[in-house]
Structure 1
């Protein structure tokens, strides 16, 4: 396994990015995140019971077990393969790193919404959006569908791309997979519903900690990417984002969402419905433009600018480290 924050690891991470851009997550091939989800689901069914205190303790134990176990299994498997042959270890880490990224998957999911929306097929666009969001989509108009897709692209630029890149360069595939375990735990049990408010508390808190720096780093690279994309409202976007992001219930998700909203000149957030129940989210950005399908394509371009800038910035830090005595 490559040394953390080294040129060799930077090259391996770059190769993993290229693999993800070309292959994504091919159906039929095993995926570690699917295995993580199955393990979490089984533990949740067995352990999410008892008093609130007992649920909190067992939820914290599950969080530690899944995260540390993911790291240990990945490290052990890669070490064993590397002992058999160095190329086996390199290829396995390459594949594992690529599986922790979701560049192509996020792009394809957003385009699956944008394509029918551009053709005026709201039914197909709602169906595609329902695959990637938890909110009710049956009655959404073009603006509502667009808002859901743009919010998904903005938030998952951190969860699915820039945060895994940061952890990959800090600790290779084992640490990147441990981060994906944290993120998967939060997406499955990190809710404030009656079922998960106690059991998922540790998972939600750990996810908040893990994403704190990547979310804010991504805001900077999204803003810088806005200059490359062109035609966006870069002026004042940083100040507005800093003011608006804390309004979001998540300490991290509001940062990329607010930046994308301000760069596009649209307003995100507002009223969502979950199984018929109303959920009000903080409004981020100013509605200079009405949300329409073209904003999904613009969000995809910003996503690419954001992760590219993040990788470039991390690469520059690696080069700086290598040049220091």
Structure 2
């Protein structure tokens, strides 16, 4: 019951306060750990096989340290007093979720377009995406923001919540370490193609179930939102596009929620994109039933919040049933 209560408390804290700048975020510590291990393990000019072995050591070291340290601190807190254990669990569950921060950062893109220039929009969206943004049109800027909200609904909220409901903040830290490694070294470029292979594959593996759960939860959220705004949310189309386009991405997980979001909003997402000065050809997701517009960033965030709340309720009920 403590883990369930801590997840609920952390979820509510995240909705109200997001990620305050004055609190040093633990993901930054994991990022420093990854960078430090990379400097020690990456060796220029070595064979692909050796790079893959070194990348595997990076994954083991990062995942192990990022999981063991919080678990030891939680154990120590429990030895002192169960209330301290609950407070630490709740605090870390709060920090490991990103519902409000994802909304806040994506809405900055809309605000930049509303009150500034296309350059302001490109700059704002560059803070939340990995692609090149300097040549994006307004449509491209909005699409990038909507896609980020859709994909990170799984990576930033549902997946960590899923793992925390199973094993508390300790397992949540494990997931965030896996996800952060992929975002830092999981690229298919000259430097990371071999060295980051383990990180990329492990991220795919540990997101396999959460990504699909996120998609179904988002379909449910689209249905609920459609009861109040049937013009802009369609559960039927979300299901249709999900079935058709959920594999329209090289990652087995990325298009799961993107396809639902595209279908729910009746817009077309994805397509070709530039990364590190190189054009990558990517299939479209969804149908361009109507042109995408700035307000779709806000609509995607409503889907995000609906999916997050449904996730808390469904996962919480499942854990309660298991406990009983």
After superposition, what is the alpha-carbon deviation per residue over 1:267-316, rounded to whole angstroms, capped at 9, x for unaligned?
11112122332112220000001111011000000001111111111122
- Equivalent residue for 1:29? 23
Per-residue deviation at 1:134? 1.7
Distance in 1 between residues matched to 2:42 and 2:94, nearest whole Å: 32
Say whether the 8 Å CA contact 1:242–1:255 is kept in structure 2. no
- The alignment partner of 1:247 has SS state of coil
1:235 aligns to 2:231 (yes or no): no
**CA gap 1:322/1:87 in 2 versus in 1, 3 angstroms:** closer
C-alpha displacement at 1:250, in angstroms?
0.7
Q: In structure 1, what is the equivalent of residue 273 of structure 2?
A: 272
Matches of 1:157 and 1:188, distance apart in 2: 19
Alignment of structure 1 residues 211-222 onto 2, 5 Å: 211-222=207-218
Query: Aligned residue pairs: how many?
Result: 317
Q: CA deviation at 1:87?
A: 2.3
Deviation at 1:120? 5.6
- 1 CA distance for matches of 2:22 and 2:2? 30
Which segment drifts farther, 61-70 or 117-126? 117-126
In 1, are the aligned partners of 2:74 and 2:89 still within 8 Å (CA)? yes
* Runs of 4+ with >4 A deviation: none
Tell me the residue number matched to 2:162.
Answer: 166
CA distance in 1, matches of 2:248, 2:204: 15
Structure 2 residue runs of 5 or longer lacking an equivalent are none
Does 1:48 find its partner at 2:42? yes
- After superposition, residues 299-314 of structure 1 pair within 5 angstroms as 299-314=300-315
Alignment of 1:1-325 (within 5 A): 7-49=1-43, 50-119=46-115, 121-230=117-226, 231=230, 232-323=233-324
Aligned counterparts of 1:294 and 1:187: Cα–Cα separation in 2:
28
After superposition, the C-alpha distances for 1:114-149 in whole angstroms (9 at most, x for unaligned) are 112233632221111011112222222221111000
Deviations 1:48-69, CA, capped at 9 Å, x for gaps: 1122111111111110111122
Quick check: 2:125–2:145 contact (8 Å CA) kept in 1? yes
Question: Structure 1 stretches of 5 or more lacking a match?
Answer: 1-6
Kindly state the Cα deviation for residue 92 of structure 1 after the two structures are TM-superposed: 1.5
Determine helix, strand or coil for the equivalent of 2:279: strand
Farther-moved stretch of structure 1 (245-254 vs 79-88): 79-88
Aligned mates of 1:187, 1:125 — CA distance in 2: 23
